[in-house]
Copies of this chain bind each other. A is one copy, B any other.
Amino acid sequence: MTLQPADATGVARVCIANPGKMNVLSVAMWRQLRAIFEAMNSAIDAPRVVLLHGADGHFAAGGDIAEFPDFRFEPDTLRRFHEEDVAPALRAMLDCDIPLVAQIDGACIGGGLEIAACCDLRIAGRASRFGIPIARLGFPLAPAEASIVARVLGLPLLRELLLEARLLDADAALAKGIVTRVVDDDKVAADALAAAERIAALSPQAMCLNKRLLRQLAEGGLSAAQRHEHFAYADSAEHREGLAAFMEKRDPRFQT
């Protein structure tokens, strides 16, 4: 898990890497993912957009099973892994008010699919494949992770993936709503970067307020105070610039 700071366009990169193992997720990687996003959420000079991708042709192929005997056979250590390592990392992603674009090559399985589900856009290559085939390994999905993945997949599709324990190809993933779009494998990186750069040129304030609003809706709706606070953007520079640019038939410049 490495963070590459924002480039000139405002796009930072998070790379999932576990060389030679299709980027399977170790306990240390989950902790790094959490640290990266918790730091970003409290940073002053946050990037405009984060592009997540995997190294060497895969997104992430699930958990690092070689580590599993260390902690999976005792209820307390198993629960702590899921609730104190995995779930907080995903939660730090969900709590991020910066747009997250997932570039998905190859395997996007188990924990990899969970990470992708916490991104805002999922741009996938034609050879990518998706699933949660843990019933082959004799265990069920953890509750917090199921709840997070279901936000994107919905319960009927999550049910299908868990019970059949099969992988879906990219076209099925698109038809069933797992990914935003599918492009040729040699174009995934360029398309995902182009999407990230396009979003980076839009209003960061609108992105932040939209992400906050969508999170509030996902978590039961807004309080009266939250609804009231939402409209505080009225007199902001970005709001004025966006409308002025439209009136003047020019591209807006959202420099914050």
Residues on A lying within 8 angstroms of B by beta carbon are 65, 68-69, 72-75, 77-79, 82-83, 99, 120-121, 134-144, 146-147, 150-152, 154-160, 162-165, 174-177, 180, 195, 198-199, 202-203, 205-207, 209-211, 213-214, 216-218, 221-222, 226-228, 230-236, 238-243, 246-247, 252, 254
Q: 20 A-B residue contacts at CB 8 Å?
A: A69-B243, A73-B240, A75-B232, A75-B234, A78-B234, A120-B163, A135-B210, A136-B242, A137-B239, A137-B252, A138-B240, A138-B254, A140-B206, A143-B213, A143-B216, A146-B214, A150-B217, A152-B156, A163-B210, A176-B177
Q: Apart from A138-B243, A140-B233, what 7 extra A-B contacts exist at CB < 8 Å?
A: A99-B163, A137-B242, A140-B206, A140-B209, A142-B230, A151-B156, A155-B218
Q: Summarize A's interface: helix, strand, loop or mixed.
A: helix
Determine the residue in chain B with the shortest Cβ distance to A134.
B206
Within the oligomer, what is the number of copies of this chain? 3
